[in-house]
Amino acid sequence: MSLELTGLAGGYGQAAVVHPTDLTVRAGEVTALVGRNGAGKTTLLRTVFGLADRHGGQVVLGGRTLPPGRPDLTARAGGTLMPEDRGVFPSLTVAENLRLARRRDFTPAVDPYAVLPLLTDRAGQLAGSLSGGQKQQLGIARAMLAGSALIAVDELTQGLQPSVVADVLEALGTIAASGVAVLLVDQHAGALLDRSHHAVAVEAGRVVLDAPTGPGLRDRLDAILAVR
């Protein structure tokens, strides 16, 4: 079930952050969305998921057109977003957070417990008492359990050790191969590109590169991401 954006624009109130954008995140693929801090990556995600104001355009997930301002309908369509603040419930335990996230009609191709041992080791601990990196792992696991059509993760590598990043990327690749569209956002392109099928770069709220991963792409992205 692919995600298709047509002329999508958004922001907060009258402030335009994302300018009309066409983008397809294909089912079965991992797409890396990169850009410098403040480029509009997070606002693009929030507009897709109905959490920012949509100023125009269309969002279609799995053939279903999603109205603006209805994150509940995006969730019902199988889309899930792990936001930059991880989106965990601090007053619930790790196990309770995961039970709440799990979709009744969906079993992911990868068991998050097998990928992230922390989930078992800290099952009875309140999420609010976890470290930042531990919350990141919990948030990613919640996204794996909830995203039957689309998984989007904002700032994937935040607070994670390189070995954990590698394990998470491998797991998300397996989930994508099962027919889920996976969209990964980060300021740092390096860790994502080796595990992605497609790369999209955003600059000042506009898509400035949209290409399959391959030779030469890293140099093009480095030029875009370079501080001016």
Taking the domain 3-86+148-225, which CATH number applies? 3.40.50.300
Q: Evaluate the CA torsion angle 210, 216, 220, 222 in order and state its sign.
A: positive
d(CA 99, CA 95): 6
All residue ranges of the chain with pLDDT < 70 are: 227-228
pLDDT confidence of residue 142: 98
Q: What are phi and psi of 142, to 5 degrees?
A: -60, -40
pLDDT confidence of residue 226: 73
pLDDT confidence of residue 228: 46
Long-range contacts of residues 169-174, Cβ cutoff 8 Å, at least 24 apart: 169/30, 169/195, 170/195, 171/110, 171/112, 171/115, 171/144, 172/30, 172/144, 173/30, 174/109, 174/110
- Looking at residue 187, the DSSP 8-state letter turns out to be S
Cβ contact 87:81 at 8 Å: yes
Domain layout of the chain by residue ranges: 3-86+148-225
pLDDT confidence of residue 1: 81
Name the strand (E) or helix (H) holding 17: strand 15-25
CA–CA distances in Å: residue 7 to residues 15, 80, 119: 17, 21, 40
Q: What is the pTM of this model?
A: 0.94
pLDDT digits (tens, 9 = 90+) for 46-93: 999 999 999 999 999 999 999 999 999 999 999 999 999 999 999 999
pLDDT confidence of residue 222: 82
